[in-house]
Amino acid sequence: MHTSPASPDRSTAGFNRNCYAVVLVFLCVVVPVREHFAPAGEADFTQYYMAGLMAKQGMWDAIYPVPIPGAKFIPAAPQGSIAKPQYAAAAQSAGIHGDPWRVVQAPPVCLLFAPLAMFPLHTAFLFYRFLSTICVWVVALYAGLIAGRIIGRPTRLSGSVAALIGASPNSLATIRTGNVSSIVAALIAVAIYELQARDGWRGGAAALGAFVLKYASFPLLPVAIVAGRLRTVAWAALLLLAFVLIPIPFIGVAPYREFAFKIAPHFDQLEAYYGNQALRAVLARCWANADPPVTFLHAFSIVRWATFALFVFVLYSARCRIQTSARLIASASALMLCWFLIFSPVAHAHYYLYIFPLWGWLIIELRRVRFGLALATIAIALMWIPLAGGRWSHLPLVISAHMLLAAIIMMVVALISIVRREADRGSMMSHSTAAIESTVSD
C-alpha cells in the first residue's frame, strides 16, 4: 500500500491534537474534582469581584483602601491597608466574610471585572474558575505552537510540552488560587506567538491585556521593538490610550488620581514572606525577622535597572538576527520575562506560569549542549510543582526558592542564545531536533 510522503506530518499533527484535547479534558475534570474534595475557596478572586462590584455600583470614592504607613505588605493585602467603611460593608453584603482583600487595580481594569458583579459571588467564581481553566489550556496550546514555530515544521514536542504543562501541579494550583495569573499567562503566550508569526493588532492586544492586568508584558516591549514589530507596538499604544481615556467622561479623574498617587507608589513594597520567590524577597529573608538595610534596597534597585538596560542593549545589538528568527524572538522573550520574575517585588509560584509557554524553546535551545536536555529537565521540574509556602514552609531557603532558580537558568540560557552568533537554518534545526523527536515518538 502506497504511503503519502505527508503521512508523518499528519501523524504528528494527530498526536498533537490528541495531546491538546486530553489536556483540556484533564483540566476540566481534575480541577472541579479536586475542588470538591479539597475546597480552596474564592481566595484571590474576591478582590476582582469587589473591583467589579464597586465599579458597577459607581462607588469610586470608596474603591481603594488607605495604605498603612510602614506596612510590610502591599495595599492589596489586609495587613497592608485599611478598607474604607463602604467597601467593607459592600464586601459583607456580597458574602465575603472576614477582612476582604483590597482593590489595587487601575480604574479601567475594575470596569473589566464589572460583569462578574452581575452574579452572586459563588456563581461568578465558578465562571471565573472555568475561564482560568481554559486559559491554562491556552498556555499549553500556545507552548506547543511556539515550539513548532521555532522548529519550522510539525513536531511531537509540541504535544508533549502541552501535556507537561496541563499535568503540572503548578498549573492546577494557579487555577485554584483565583488569581488573574492564568489569564495573564495565556495573553503572554499569544503575544509571544504573534511576535514570532506577524506584526499586527493581535500581538498588541494580547500584550496590552497582560500589561493592564499584571504589568507582566512590559518586558516584551523592547522585544517587539528590536524585532521590528512596530505595528504591534503602535496597536498596543493606541489601545492603551483608548483603554485609559474612554472611561474618564463616565467615572471622572478622581479614581485615576487616587490610584496613581496613593496606591501605585506601594507596588514596589518589599514583601519578604516565605511564598515570595522574587530575588529581592529571597535575599531579604536572610535577615530573618529583621528588616534588610536601606543600602541593600538601594543597591538592589540599581542592579535591577542596570540589568534591564544591559539586556535591552544586548537585544538591540542582535536586532538584525532577532528580526528574522522565531527562535531568537523566543529567546528574547524568555530573557525579559525571566528578568521580570527575578527582579519583580513579588513573584508567587503562579506567576511563573508566564514562562511556561517557553518550555519548548528551552528544550530546543539546550538540545545542542552536552547534558543540555538534563538541564532543561531540571529547570522544568523546578517550575512544575510549587514547594514554597503552606505545608512546605519548613524547607531550606535554597529549596523553597526553586522557581527562582529555574528562572535564573532560563535567563542565562536565553542570554547565551542571543549573544551567540549562529545562523538559523531550517535544515540545521530539523537535524538537531532528531533526538527530541525520538524521545516522544511511538
Higher pLDDT, 355 or 99: 355
Q: What percent of the chain has pLDDT over 90?
A: 71
The owner of cell 467564581 is 125
Rounded Cα–Cα distance for residues 277 and 358 (Å)? 19
Higher pLDDT, 235 or 391: 235
Q: pLDDT digits over 266-302, tens only?
A: 888 877 777 888 999 888 887 766 678 889 889 999 9
| Same domain as 184, residue 86 | no
93, burial (CB in 10 Å: exposed 0-12, middle 13-18, buried 19+): exposed
Domain that holds residue 343: 11-40+119-264+275-424
| Same domain as 420, residue 381 | yes
| Same domain as 51, residue 23 | no
pLDDT band for position 417 (50/70/90)?
very high
pLDDT of residue 7: 61
Average pLDDT score over residue span 220-241: 96
| Same domain as 407, residue 325 | yes
Which one-letter DSSP state was computed for residue 81? Answer: E
| Same domain as 214, residue 355 | yes
Is 431 inside any structural domain?
Answer: no
Average pLDDT score over residue span 305-316: 97
Average pLDDT score over residue span 174-185: 94
**Average pLDDT along the chain:** 89
Is 328 inside any structural domain?
Answer: yes
Is 434 inside any structural domain?
Answer: no
| Same domain as 243, residue 106 | no
| Same domain as 383, residue 306 | yes
pLDDT band for position 392 (50/70/90)?
low
pLDDT band for position 260 (50/70/90)?
very high
| Same domain as 195, residue 95 | no
| Same domain as 236, residue 139 | yes
Higher pLDDT, 393 or 272: 272
pLDDT of residue 71: 81
Last residue of a domain, one of 118, 148, 165: 118
Buried b (16+ CB within 10 A) or exposed e, 287-301: eeeeebeeebeeebe
